[in-house]
Amino acid sequence: MKSVINKSILFIFFFLVTSYNVAQAFSGPDTFADLAEKVSPSVVNISTTGVIEQSSPQIPSIEDFFNFPFNMPSPEQSEREFSSLGSGFVISEDGYIVTNNHVVQNASDIQVTFTNGLKLEAELIAFDNETDLALLKVDTTDKLPSLEFGDSDSAKVGSWVMAIGNPHGLGGSVTAGIVSARGRMLGGRYDDFIQTDAAINRGNSGGPLFNLDGEVIGVNSMILSPSGGSIGLGFAIPSNLAKNIIDQLKDTGDIRHEPYWKNFSKQNKINLINLYPYFEAENKRKFILDNFIFGDVHWNKSGNKKIFEALKKELVFERNNN
Active site residues: 102, 132, 205
CA distance from start to end of the chain: 85
User: Exposed/middle/buried for 69, CB within 10 Å: 0-12, 13-18, 19+?
Assistant: exposed
State the alpha helices, DSSP H only, in the chain: 2-25, 33-39, 62-66, 101-104, 239-251, 266-272, 281-288, 305-320
Bridge-based pairing of strands 173-184 and 119-128 is: unpaired
Cβ atoms of 249 and 133 closer than 8 Å: yes
Residue 139, sorted as left (phi over 0), alpha (psi -120 to 50) or beta, turns out to be: beta
* C-alpha pair distances (Å), 269 with each of 173, 190, 196, 249: 34, 12, 20, 25
Cβ atoms of 198 and 209 closer than 8 Å: yes
3-state class (DSSP) for residue 174: strand
| Alpha-carbon span 83 to 95, nearest angstrom | 23
| Alpha-carbon span 246 to 98, nearest angstrom | 8
| Alpha-carbon span 287 to 315, nearest angstrom | 10
User: Exposed/middle/buried for 54, CB within 10 Å: 0-12, 13-18, 19+?
Assistant: exposed
Nearest to 184 by CA among 241, 237, 242, 245: 237
Cβ atoms of 257 and 130 closer than 8 Å: yes
